[in-house]
Structure 1
Amino acid sequence: MIFEPYALFAQILFVLVPFYLYQMFWLDKPYRFSRYRFAVMASCGALSMLLCMSLPVISYSEHYYDLRQIPFIVASLYGGYGVMAFLYVVSAVYRLWLGGSGVMLSLAVTSGACLLLYAAIPRFYALTPIRKILLSAGISIVTAAGVILYTFRKLQAPLESEVLFSSGFFAFVYVLASWIIVYLIETARRNASFRQALLLSEKMKVVSEIAASVSHEIRNPLTTTMGFLKLLSKTTDPQKQQYYVDIATEEIKRAQHIITNYLTFAKREDEAPVRLQAAEELGYVTAVMEPYAQMNQVELRSKLEPCWVEGSRHDFRQCFINLVKNAIEAVPQTGFVEIRCLMQRGAVVISIEDNGVGMDPEQIKHIGTPYYSSKMAQEGTGLGMLIVLNMVDLMKGRLDICSTPGKGTKFTITLPACEPQPEIRQTG
C-alpha cells in the first residue's frame, strides 16, 4: 500500500475548489446566476472529482483511494437529483478510462452513495445547518467504512501498523473534509443571507430618506403658495392680485420640478449651468419668503448688488430659500433676517444673517448630516442644509458659518463670479 501525504493535501485543495466557485458564482450573485444553478453545481462537482481521481492518496493493487466522494456527496445534496446523476456518469466514465481492477469497487461505492443521497436529498434543505453537517458527515462515514472493509476483506490487505494507520488516517480526513466543506458552505450561505438583509435594509433607508427629503422640499413651495393665496384674498388691487398669482404659480412649478427630480433620481441629468444675476435671483427668494416672514413676525431685509454667477437656477433658488426659511424659523418674534450680496475680491459673497437663537460648535459640526437638526423634535430633518451644501459644492463655492448661542447666526457663501450675460440687441 502506497500512501502519498502530499497528494492528500492536494486533494483537500481540490475539494475546496467547488466551495469557492460556488460562493463566487452562486451565493454572492443568486439572481444573476439562478438560471445556471445546475450548470454551476455540476461543473464545480465534476471539476473537483476529476482532480481528486487524477491524483490518488493511496494506491493498492490497482485500487485508487481519494476524496472524490466528498464533492460528489456535497454537490448532489445542494444540487439535487440532476447533479447527482450527472456526477455519477462523469465519475464512472473517467474511472473506466483509468482502468484497473478497482473499477467495480469505485462503481459499487458510488452507487451506494447514490442510494443514501436519493433518500437524503428531498429532506436536505429543510434541515438546520447542524443537521446538514451531520447528514453529510454520516454519508461520508458510511462510504469510507465501505471502502476500508472492502480493502481488508476482499483484497486481504495485511493488518500491519502502516496499513492500519494509512487507512485510519484516510478515513478520518475523509469525514473531516466532508464536515468542513458543508460547514463552510452553510457559513457562506448564512453570510450571504445577512448581506441580502443588510442591502434590503439600506435600500429601505434610502427610500425613507428620499421620502423625507421630498416632503421637506415640497413643504417650502406649498407654504409660500399658501401665504400668497391668503394675501390674495385680502387685497382688491388687480396689480397685486396678479403679482401674487404669478408668485404662487411659480412656486407650484417649483414643487413640480422637485417631484420630477426625485422621480427620476437614479437617472437624473443635472441642468446645464447658466449665467445668473445673483441679485435678481435673491430678489425672487426675498419675494417668495416675505409672506412666511410676516407670518412669523420677522423683518426680512435685503441689500443686493448686481453680481453674476454660473449654475442651476432651480438649485440656486432652492438653496437660499432653505437658508432663509431656516433663519426665519430660528428668529424669535420681532427679530430680523438680512440677505446681502456683493462682489469681493473677484468673488460673489452672499450672506444670510439673523438675530435668532444661534448654534453652539457641536451643532455647527453636525450641519449637513441627514436627520440631524438643531430645531425641536419633529420640526426638522436636516435635509435642507444637505441640499445647501450640495449646491455650494456643485457651484465650486465655499460655506462659512459664524454663530453665537443666543445672539444669532450668519451663513456666508462665496461663489466664483462670472462675466455678465451679454445683452441681445434686436435690429431691424
Structure 2
Amino acid sequence: MLNIVKDFLLNLFFILLPIFTIPIWIEQRKVPKHIKQHLLTIFYSFVIILCITIPVGADKVSIFDLRQIPLWLGSLYRGIATSAFLCLVTIGYRSLFEGVGFFVTAVTSVLVMGTSIVLSKKFLQLPSKHRISLATALSAFSGIITIGLAELFHGIPSPSVLLSLTYLLVQPICMFIACSLKEMVYHNIALRKRMIRAEKMEAVSHLAASISHEIRNPLTAARGFMQLLEQHHLSPEKRRQYARIAIEELDRAEAIITDYLTFAKPAPETVEKLNVKTEIERVIDFIRPLANMNSVEVRATLAPFSIIGEREKFRQCLLNIMKNAIEAMPNGGVLQIYVSIEKRRVLIRISDTGVGMTKEQMERLGEPYFTTKEIKGTGLGMMVVYRIIESMNGTIHIQSEVHKGTEVSIYLPLSSSHLPQEVRKAKKIFAVL
C-alpha cells in the first residue's frame, strides 16, 4: 500500500511542477501570449508522457496513473485545440505499451475532448471555487468510467482490485489539489499585476500633481508681473526689473518641464564618446558663480577617462548633483569632485560638507515628488539624475550623515578604447585562449 501511495505522489509531483514553475517563468520573462499557449500545451503533454512512463501499477492487464489530470487541466483551461492535441499524445503514447487498456484510454480521452468542446468557454467564466469543484467532479467521473470500462471489457484481476479502489479515491483528490493550486498561482499573478499597475498609477498621479503645482507657481508669478507692466506710472527701472523677474519665472517653468521630459524619456538620443574630465570642467565653470555666492570652495581631482553617453544629459546630471551639494552648504564649505577607475568602471565621486540627510530622507531620495529643499525644491532634480545614470547603464550610490555632508558615487561603463593597458593585455590573452 505504501508503494502505491508513493507512486501516486510521484505522479502528483509531475503534475504540480509545471503548475508552479511555468506561469511564474512566463510572467518573469514576459513571454508573448501565443508562445505562452504553446508552451503550456507542450508541458501538459510532457507530464502525460511522464505519468504513463512511470505508472502506479503496471502489468499485462492494467496500467494505473494520473494522466487524466493534466489532460483535464489542459482541456478545460486551454481550450479545444489543446484538448485535441493532448488526446492524440495520450492515445499515441499509450499505444506503445503492452496491455489491454488501450481501448479504455482511447474512450476516456475522447470523452475528455467532447466535454472540453461543450464546457471550455463556460468553464473559464465560472468563479474559482466552482471551477475547482467542477474539475474535481469531472475527474472523479472519468475515473469511474475508466474502471467501469476496464471491468466490462477486460475484467480486473483480484490483485488489482485494491489498486483500482485507491485510484478511484486518489484521482479526484489529486485533481482537487492540482486545480486549487493552479487557481491560487494565477490569482497571485493577477493580484501582482494589479498591484504593479496601481503603484504605477499612483506614481503618475503624484508626479502629475507635483508638475502642475510647480509649473503653476512660476506661471502665476510671471502673469502677475506682466500685469504690473501695464501700469503707466512705473519707472523704466521698475519695468526692467518686473520683466526680468517674469522671464526668470518662465525659465524656471521651462526647466521643470525639461526635467520632466528627461525623466519620461531618459534614453540617449545622440550617443557619443565623452571625456569625463572635460565634461566635469565645463560643469564646474558653469556652477562656479553659484559656489562663490555661497562661499563654497570647489576642489577637483580629475582624470581623462572616456565614457559613452549623451553630452547634454550627462552635463545636466552632474549639474543637478553639484547644485544640490552647493545648496546644502548655505554657510560655505568644500565641494570635492574625484574621478578614478574602480573595477573597470569610471567612478565619479561628488562630496560636500553640508547639512547631510537623515535615513528617512535617504530612503525617499529620487522619488518624483520628494525634496529636501523647503523653498525652491521641485523634487525632480535627483529623479532626473537617477534616470540619466540608469539610461547610461550606470549605478549611483549615496552616503550621507546629518551635519557632516553627503557623498554621491556614480559608476559608469568605461569606453573600451580607453581601458587600462593591463586590462587590454588581459583581454588579448583571453582572446587567444
The whole-number CA distance in structure 2 between the counterparts of 1:108 and 1:281 is 85
How does the TM-score come out when normalised to structure 1?
0.67
Indicate the residue corresponding to 2:171 in structure 1.
174
Distance in 2 separating the partners of 1:308 and 1:228: 36
* Pair 1:194 & 2:194 matched: no
Give the Cα separation in 2 of the matches to 1:345 and 1:112. 78
2-structure distance, mates of 1:344, 1:36: 54
Aligned to 2:210: 213
The amino acid across from 1:109 in the alignment is T
Indicate the structure (1 or 2) with the bigger Cα radius of gyration: 1
Structure 2: which amino acid aligns with 1:275?
Answer: I
Q: Secondary structure at the match of 1:48?
A: helix
Instruction: Note the 1:247-396 alignment, pairs <5 A.
Output: 247-268=245-266, 273=280, 274-276=283-285, 280-281=289-290, 304-305=294-295, 307-308=297-298, 315=320, 340-341=331-332, 384=377, 386=379
For the 8 Å contact 1:275–1:309, the answer to whether it is kept is: no
The amino acid of 1:111's aligned partner reads V
Shift of 1:71: 0.4
CA distance in 2 between counterparts of 1:17 and 1:415 reads 48
- Greater Cα shift, 3-12 or 202-211: 3-12
Deviations 1:172-197 (A, max 9, x none): 11111111111111111111111111
8 Å CA contact retained: 2:298, 2:335: no
Checking the alignment, whether the CA contact within 8 Å between 2:4 and 2:56 is kept in structure 1 is: yes
Indicate if the aligned counterparts of 1:304 and 1:340 stay in contact, CA closer than 8 A.
yes
CA distance in structure 2 between the aligned counterparts of 1:277 and 1:255, rounded to whole angstroms = 20
- Retained in 2: the 8 A contact 1:11–1:66? yes
Question: 1:41 is aligned with what amino acid?
Answer: L
AA partner of residue 139 (structure 2) = S
* Partners of 2:28 and 2:98 in 1: CA distance: 40
Q: Does structure 1 retain, via aligned residues, the 8 Å contact 2:259–2:380? A: no
Please report how far the alpha carbon of residue 414 of structure 1 lies from its aligned counterpart in structure 2 after TM superposition: 7.5
State the AA in 2 paired with 1:154: F
Whether contact under 8 Å (2:61, 2:99) holds in the other structure is yes
Q: Deviations over 1:5-44 (max 9, x none)?
A: 5432321111123313442355x36963312243123112
Q: 1:238 to 1:29 in 2, by over 3 A?
A: same
Deviation at 1:52, TM superposition (A): 0.8
CA pair 317-23 structure 1, distance change in 2 beyond 3 A: closer
**Secondary structure, in 3 states, of the residue corresponding to 2:125?**
coil
1:119-175, CA deviations, whole angstroms, 9 ceiling, x for partnerless residues? 2213101111111111111111111112222333433334x5x54322221221111
Is there any run of 5+ residues in structure 2 with no aligned partner, and where? Answer: 269-273, 301-314, 338-350, 387-395, 409-433
Counterparts of 1:67 and 1:78, CA distance in 2: 18
User: Which is further off, 37-46 or 211-220?
Assistant: 211-220
Distance 1:88 1:114 in 2: 7
Deviation at 1:111, TM superposition (A): 1.8
> Is 1:16 the equivalent of 2:13?
no
Shift of 1:57: 1.0
- How far apart in 1 are the matches of 2:41 and 2:221? 65
Within the alignment, does 1:7 sit opposite 2:16 as a pair?
no
Q: Which moved more, 1:67-76 or 1:170-179?
A: 170-179
- Corresponding residue for residue 46 of structure 2: 47
1:63 counterpart letter in structure 2: S
Deviation at 1:276, TM superposition (A): 4.6
> Aligned ranges for residues 79-228 of structure 1 at < 5 Å?
79-158=78-157, 160=158, 163-222=160-219, 225-226=222-223, 228=225
Partner of 1:35: 34
Compute the TM-score of the two structures, normalised by the length of structure 2. Answer: 0.66
Distance 1:239 1:415, change over 3 A: farther
What secondary structure, in the 3-state scheme, does the structure 2 residue paired with 1:97 have? coil
1:52-71 maps to which residues of 2 (within 5 A)? 52-71=51-70
1:348–1:176 distance in 2 versus 1, CA, 3 Å: closer
The CA deviation string for residues 73-128 of structure 1, in whole angstroms up to 9 with x for no partner, is 11110110000111111112112222443221211221222233332213101111
Q: Distance in 2 between matches of 1:126 and 1:391?
A: 45
Task: Give, as a single letter, the amino acid of the residue that structure 1 aligns with 2:17.
Answer: V
Extract unaligned runs of 5+ from structure 1.
284-302, 324-337, 352-363, 375-379, 402-411, 417-428
Q: Name the CA shift for 1:205/1:244 in 2 (closer, same or farther; >3 Å).
A: same
Q: Distance in 1 between matches of 2:102 and 2:397?
A: 76
Alpha carbons of structure 1 residues 339 and 157: separation in structure 2 relative to 1, 3 Å: closer
Equivalent-residue separation in structure 2 for 1:119 and 1:383 (angstroms): 66
Q: Which residue of 2 aligns with 1:407?
A: none
- Is this contact kept in 2: 1:342–1:349, CA < 8 A? yes
Q: Distance in 1 between the 2:213 and 2:262 partners?
A: 18
Aligned pairs for 1:398-417 (under 5 A) are: 400=402
Q: Is the 8 A contact 2:229 2:239 kept in 1?
A: yes
Per-residue deviation, residues 359-408 of structure 1 (Å, max 9, x unmatched): xxxxx88667577899xxxxx9x99385687799989796746xxxxxxx
Quote the sequence identity (%): 25
Structure 1 residue 306: Cα displacement: 7.0
Give the drift of 1:260.
2.3
Asked if 2 retains the 8 angstrom alpha-carbon contact of 1:278 and 1:309, the reply is no
